[in-house]
């Protein structure tokens, strides 16, 4: 581990990291002179941007500089880093780093003693982290701190020569109050995008790299997620094994990456709810009986003990109507994410079969029902679709499907049937969207069950709450407010 170990020098390429970064940058003396003149005249404006193509997993940066009157330099290059660890922040930081280092080089090479540079960038988060990376050890826990440290190092040395400021510009500005920085931003963006096609990724760390874990690559971004995964995955797996009685062989048939991607970009609250749903720890009445000794009967049909699977299959008339409505929404969503028709039909059959099954849908389906369904599908891609269907019906169960644990054969089936794009990523995106749609469906059924219990509207909720309070008063017991009851009680009182 080394921090700022490299000495200040006037060489643009003084480290393999910069050699990779400036691969495509050919700098003539004329351009160098013009840049240094603009700096000395305190007229230099610059803008940088990063770009990423999820289909080819390539990433690049671009920057432009010049005076308000004349452009001087347009540059671009590839972004270093492991393709699986790219993030928007990483790209922006690389672009800032490349630009700052370039000016650092110009100032030292042309011995500039006075001048000014204004650099624009459209990423607020990057600028916030550069300005306030966190105190003491906290700073080492943020993503891409090595890049931030590198930017700090270059900026510090740059500021001994000239005045330098990093300013925010609104990206892709289309408003009427257009200024020069907006044009610069557009230029930098198109530079970065143009470099994408020629860009290759290489995992090379910046000179002040802080984190080099032996995971087969040096981590610069998303490393908290990587460490969390290393720390928790074993325990999480063993819990899943215990709860599902799966063997490792069955466990590996689940499309876990689709589940991970499907859970991405949820709000924190949503994420917690979906995790509970996924691990079967939502507050169903079976759970309530276990922990609070309450009745375990379903609040909708009052006829069966309420497991989460029952929530998904409850035969109550009102619930069935809601479920059918949600299913229509789900089919529409599956169409919208380009699910090929026969794959869609197969998934639909499975979900319908699960929703009407009187027995828990985790049970292995009989061979006859599978054959019937397959015959109903009747298509040339039968083999992979059938395989996916059978795997889901058999070892994994449709109950698990509705909790986002889908078979990894589904993406193969969809791909075989002609899922629009022919890249690995198209399958990933489709599978993640499928998981998201299914989780939304299951969650909507759970929300409806809670509404039946607590009221569909605010007025109904208040009325139900009042009723329960009155019942408690007539019994003559003193209502003790526990910590957990207090917020909902207070809400009830304010609504009155």
- By the criterion CB under 5 A, which residues form the site for Zn ion? 298, 300-301, 314
Nearest to 260 by CA among 388, 399, 429: 429
In the complex, minimum distance from the CB of residue 354 to Zn ion, in angstroms, rounded to a whole number? 15
HSE on the CB side for 22, CA within 13 Å?
19
For Zn ion, give the closer residue by CB, 396 or 402: 402
For Zn ion, give the closer residue by CB, 87 or 320: 320
**Inter-residue contact 164 to 119 (CB < 8 Å):** yes
For Zn ion, give the closer residue by CB, 204 or 312: 312
Helix (H), strand (E), coil (C) string for 12-25: CCCCHHHHHHCCCC
In the complex, minimum distance from the CB of residue 303 to Zn ion, in angstroms, rounded to a whole number? 6
For Zn ion, give the closer residue by CB, 312 or 314: 314
In the complex, minimum distance from the CB of residue 243 to Zn ion, in angstroms, rounded to a whole number? 22
For Zn ion, give the closer residue by CB, 185 or 313: 313
Contacts with 330 (C-beta within 8 Å, 6 or more apart), sequence order: 351, 437, 438, 440, 441
In the complex, minimum distance from the CB of residue 442 to Zn ion, in angstroms, rounded to a whole number? 15
CA distance 466 to 217: 60
Alpha helices in 160-222 (DSSP H): 180-196
β 44-53/116-121 pair status: parallel
Rounded to 5°, the CA angle 211-213-217 comes to 100
For Zn ion, give the closer residue by CB, 83 or 299: 299
Alpha carbon 62 to chain centroid, angstroms: 25
In the complex, minimum distance from the CB of residue 278 to Zn ion, in angstroms, rounded to a whole number? 21
In the complex, minimum distance from the CB of residue 299 to Zn ion, in angstroms, rounded to a whole number? 8
**Inter-residue contact 80 to 204 (CB < 8 Å):** yes
In the complex, minimum distance from the CB of residue 357 to Zn ion, in angstroms, rounded to a whole number? 14
In the complex, minimum distance from the CB of residue 358 to Zn ion, in angstroms, rounded to a whole number? 12
Polymer length of the chain: 496
State the DSSP string of 144-161: THHHHHHHHHHHHHHHTT
Tell me which residue has tokens 């397959």: 374
In the complex, minimum distance from the CB of residue 304 to Zn ion, in angstroms, rounded to a whole number? 6
Q: Centre a 10 Å sphere on the Cβ of residue 413 and count the other Cβ atoms it contains.
A: 25
**Inter-residue contact 119 to 165 (CB < 8 Å):** yes
Nearest to 188 by CA among 127, 123, 116: 123
For Zn ion, give the closer residue by CB, 201 or 326: 326
Nearest to 189 by CA among 56, 315, 47: 47
């Amino acid at each position: 581990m080394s921090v700022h170990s490299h000495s200040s020098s006037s060489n643009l390429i003084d480290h393999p990291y910069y050699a990779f970064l400036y691969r495509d940058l050919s700098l003539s003396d004329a351009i160098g002179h013009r840049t240094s003149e603009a700096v000395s005249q305190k007229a230099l404006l610059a803008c940088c941007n990063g770009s990423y193509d999820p289909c080819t997993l390539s990433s690049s940066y671009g920057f432009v500089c010049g005076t308000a009157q004349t452009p001087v330099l347009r540059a671009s290059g590839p972004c270093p880093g492991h393709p699986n660890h790219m993030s928007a922040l990483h790209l922006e930081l690389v672009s800032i780093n490349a630009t700052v280092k370039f000016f650092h080089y110009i100032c030292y090479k042309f011995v500039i003693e006075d001048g000014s540079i204004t650099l624009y960038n459209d990423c607020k988060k990057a600028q916030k982290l550069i300005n306030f990376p966190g105190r003491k050890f906290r700073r080492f826990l943020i993503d891409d701190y090595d890049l931030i440290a590198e930017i700090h190092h270059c900026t510090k040395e740059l500021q001994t020569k000239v005045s330098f400021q990093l300013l925010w510009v609104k990206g892709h500005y289309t408003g009427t109050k257009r200024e020069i920085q907006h044009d610069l931003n557009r230029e930098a963006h198109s530079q970065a995008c143009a470099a994408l096609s020629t860009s290759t990724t290489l995992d090379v760390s910046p000179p002040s790299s802080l984190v080099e874990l032996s995971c087969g690559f040096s981590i610069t971004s998303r490393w908290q997620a990587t460490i969390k995964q290393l720390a928790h995955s074993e325990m999480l797996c063993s819990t899943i094994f215990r709860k599902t009685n799966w063997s490792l062989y069955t466990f590996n048939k689940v499309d876990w990456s689709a589940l991970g991607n499907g859970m991405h970009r949820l709000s924190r609250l949503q994420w917690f709810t979906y995790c509970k749903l996924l691990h079967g720890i939502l507050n169903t009445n079976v759970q309530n009986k276990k922990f609070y000794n309450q009745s375990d009967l379903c609040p909708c049909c009052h006829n069966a003990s309420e497991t989460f699977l029952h929530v998904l299959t409850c035969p109550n008339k009102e619930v069935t109507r809601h479920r059918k409505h949600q299913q229509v929404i789900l089919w529409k969503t599956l169409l919208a994410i380009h699910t090929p028709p026969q794959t869609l039909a197969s998934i639909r059959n499975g979900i319908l079969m699960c929703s009407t099954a009187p027995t828990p849908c985790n049970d292995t389906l009989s061979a006859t029902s599978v054959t019937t369904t397959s015959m109903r599908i009747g298509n040339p891609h039968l083999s992979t679709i059938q395989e996916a269907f059978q795997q889901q019906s058999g070892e994994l169960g449709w109950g698990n499907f509705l909790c986002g644990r889908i078979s990894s054969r589904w993406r193969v089936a969809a791909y075989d049937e002609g899922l629009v794009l022919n890249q690995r990523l198209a399958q990933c995106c489709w599978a993640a969207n499928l998981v998201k749609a299914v989780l939304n469906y299951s969650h909507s059924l759970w929300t409806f069950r809670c509404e039946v219990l607590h009221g569909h509207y605010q007025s109904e909720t208040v009325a139900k709450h009042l009723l329960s309070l009155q019942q408690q008063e007539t019994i003559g017991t003193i209502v003790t407010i526990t910590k957990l009851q207090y917020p909902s009680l207070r809400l009830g009182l304010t609504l009155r």
